[in-house]
């Protein structure tokens, strides 16, 4: 049997794994027949670790030690707006790690977001190994197209911690396009509307016989199905307060029950006009009397609650289209990706915006994982038949004086690519040159995501202005940024040191890998 490489769609809410079987991309279910797995890790009191749909059941009974939606923390600095928002929502505890990074506190242990992701990846590997009966070590992992370098790097680190060789990081909408375009001889201009659990992406592609060229992409890494659930959850909390005078938001346990009911109601509304919501024993008053909570939610009311979220996705679509100088009418077809696109409000809004019936031939929960499997398989086979030409989603910037920044590589530039910039020393006998690089669309440096501060040294020491250092900024096929420098005159490579970064050092990744080898994922 030839070597197997997995495709893994590591989602905010759910994770899915696929491989090529008999030439066909196939989602691999676990032993219980589940094809998607909640991206949840629960650390039990007895030391067992649960992953997936089992772990999700622990959110209510073991809220402090059950980690969900941790993808939202990947590659973020502790002081960022995103982490502050997550802190308000999740019952588990976030603490500051080294270099302003984020850690999740579980009892007396802390875990980085890539470590949590690694536990989920290990479970996926286990599922495939059980299914195929062979060892699997290689994987392609997908990320939202709009993920920045820090977030991509964190995803790659998660793979290494899990003991995987990460063949490639690919963008979720691009992976979905691979699934649709696979062997069908499409010659089309396609828009992929990808609304996941936590993120939204839109990509516009030209698909030829064998070339998948991304023309532009745009996204919002903080907009997804989770936000729709939250709207219902807050509405439920408000209605309960109006009826019973009790604020359930103060009770973590009750809030999780509301969230669970909200997700269920949302899914129900994809099929029904009205859903019944019944939550038993949501509140116990001072005299020990327990209250149930029953109500109904109609599709119309739900649509009103989330209208602004839906509109936000189309602002992002406008951005992607204008960036490639196209209009919605130029698209030959529109493909829906991600579980939340099952909602009738999304389907009808997309149809209205693009003026055509969106395609949903492949299950929107599975289409990304299948595409990742196609790419993983292609990388093992030099006779591969498809070529991905992707773009960088964000402008790469260089920090300049006075808190400003300037563009180095524009967003939507095809990758791989590199650019060089020259710097001269500003002082006599200068030994070091420091630069800060960012990704984002603002001229103000601090309004962009900081990728890191690089320090170059080891070049000739001379009077100021005499030494010119050429810095090369490279974005590779994973969308990951590499920076290197050399002395122009001598051609000698300067040594590069990364001072500030949200990520893990190589040593930290290795240490985490060693620690996690002993970690046993509990079986049912």
Partner 1 sequence: MPVDPNIHPHWAQETKELAARLDELDYFEVLGVAQVAPIVEIKEQYHSLQRAYHPDTFYQSPDTDLKDAVFRIAKRLSEAYVVLRDPARRARYLKDVSGDERKQKLRFTEESESKVRKDQEATQGQTSQGRNLVAKALKAIDDGDLRSAERDLKTALLFEPKNTSIQSRLELLREQMKSG
Residues forming the site for partner 1 (CB under 8 A)? 167-168, 208, 210-211, 213, 327-329, 353, 355, 378-382, 384, 387-389, 413-418, 421, 474, 477
Active site residue 9: yes
* DSSP code for 224: S
- Tell me if 201 sits within 8 A of 144, measured CB to CB: yes
Shortest Å, Cβ 274 to partner 1? 31
Nearer to partner 1, 11 or 181 (CB): 181
Beta-ladder partners of 441: none
Nearer to partner 1, 258 or 378 (CB): 378
How, if at all, do strands 211-220 and 387-389 pair?
Answer: parallel
Shortest Å, Cβ 383 to partner 1? 8
Q: Please give the Cα distance from 424 to 213 (Å, whole number).
A: 38
Shortest Å, Cβ 308 to partner 1? 19
Shortest Å, Cβ 382 to partner 1? 5
Non-local (6+) Cβ contacts of 402 within 8 A are none
Shortest Å, Cβ 159 to partner 1? 16
Q: Please give the Cα distance from 387 to 213 (Å, whole number).
A: 8
Active site residue 3: no
Shortest Å, Cβ 216 to partner 1? 13
- Tell me if 280 sits within 8 A of 242, measured CB to CB: no
Active site residue 410: no
Nearer to partner 1, 382 or 429 (CB): 382
Nearer to partner 1, 442 or 517 (CB): 442
Nearer to partner 1, 389 or 500 (CB): 389
Nearer to partner 1, 100 or 413 (CB): 413
* DSSP code for 522: P
Annotated catalytic residue: which of 54, 56, 71, 508? 71
Shortest Å, Cβ 311 to partner 1? 14
- Tell me if 401 sits within 8 A of 378, measured CB to CB: no
Nearest to 430 by CA among 472, 466, 484, 470: 466
- Tell me if 277 sits within 8 A of 260, measured CB to CB: no
| Secondary structure, 3-state, 274-292 | EEEEEEEEEEECCCCCEEE
Nearest to 281 by CA among 267, 292, 270, 265: 292
Instruction: Indicate the SS3 state at residue 379.
Output: helix
What are the helix (H) ranges across 35-171? 53-56, 58-61, 81-89, 113-132, 149-161
- Tell me if 31 sits within 8 A of 130, measured CB to CB: yes
Active site residue 194: yes
Nearer to partner 1, 3 or 292 (CB): 3
Annotated catalytic residue: which of 172, 226, 263, 366? 172
Q: Give catalytic residues, as residue numbers.
A: 9, 71, 172, 194
């Amino acid at each position: 049997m030839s070597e197997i490489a997995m495709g893994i769609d590591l989602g905010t809410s759910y994770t899915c794994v696929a491989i090529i079987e008999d030439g066909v991309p196939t989602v691999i279910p676990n032993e219980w027949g589940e094809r998607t797995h909640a991206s949840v890790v629960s650390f039990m009191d007895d030391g067992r670790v649960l992953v997936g749909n089992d772990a999700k059941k622990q959110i209510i009974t073991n809220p402090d030690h059950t980690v969900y939606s941790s993808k939202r923390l990947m590659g973020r600095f502790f002081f960022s707006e995103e982490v502050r928002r997550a802190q308000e929502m999740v019952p588990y505890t976030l603490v500051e790690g080294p270099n302003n990074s984020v850690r999740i506190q579980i009892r007396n242990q802390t875990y980085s977001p890539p470590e949590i992701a690694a536990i989920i990846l290990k479970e996926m590997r286990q599922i495939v190994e059980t299914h195929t009966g062979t060892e699997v070590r290689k994987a392609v992992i997908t990320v939202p197209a709009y993920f920045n370098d820090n977030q991509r790097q964190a995803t790659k680190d998660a793979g290494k911690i899990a003991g995987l060789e990460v063949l490639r990081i690919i963008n979720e909408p691009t992976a979905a396009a691979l699934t649709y375009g696979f062997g069908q001889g499409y010659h089309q201009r396609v828009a992929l509307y990808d609304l996941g659990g936590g993120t939204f992406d839109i990509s516009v592609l030209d698909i030829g016989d064998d070339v998948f060229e991304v023309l532009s992409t745009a996204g919002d890494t903080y907009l997804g199905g989770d936000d729709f659930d939250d709207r219902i959850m807050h509405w439920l909390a408000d209605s309960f307060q109006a009826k019973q005078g009790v604020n359930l938001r103060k009770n973590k346990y009750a809030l999780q029950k509301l969230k669970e009911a909200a997700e269920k109601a949302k899914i129900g509304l994809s099929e029904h006009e009205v859903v019944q919501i019944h939550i038993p024993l949501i509140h116990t008053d001072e005299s020990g009397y327990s209250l149930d909570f029953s109500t109904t939610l109609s599709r119309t009311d739900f649509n009103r609650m989330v209208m602004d979220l839906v509109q936000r996705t189309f602002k992002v679509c406008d951005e992607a289209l204008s960036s490639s100088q196209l209009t919605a009418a130029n698209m030959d077809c529109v493909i829906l990706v991600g579980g939340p696109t099952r909602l009738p409000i999304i389907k009808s809004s997309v149809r209205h915006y693009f003026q055509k019936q969106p395609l949903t031939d492949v299950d929107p929960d599975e289409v990304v994982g299948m595409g990742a499997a196609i790419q993983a398989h292609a990388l093992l086979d030099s006779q591969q038949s498809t070529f991905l030409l992707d773009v960088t989603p964000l402008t790469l910037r260089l920090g300049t004086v006075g808190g400003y920044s300037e563009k180095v590589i524009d967003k939507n530039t095809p990758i791989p690519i590199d650019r060089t910039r020259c710097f001269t020393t500003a002082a006599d006998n200068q030994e070091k040159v420091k630069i800060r690089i960012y990704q984002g669309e603002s001229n103000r440096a601090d309004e962009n995501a900081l990728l890191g501060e690089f320090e170059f040294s080891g070049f000739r020491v001379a009077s100021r202005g005499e030494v010119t250092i050429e810095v090369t900024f490279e974005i590779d096929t994973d969308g990951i940024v590499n920076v290197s420098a050399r002395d122009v005159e001598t051609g000698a490579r300067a040594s590069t040191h990364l001072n500030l970064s949200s990520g893990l050092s190589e040593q930290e990744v290795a240490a985490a890998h060693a620690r996690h080898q002993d970690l046993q994922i509990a079986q049912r």
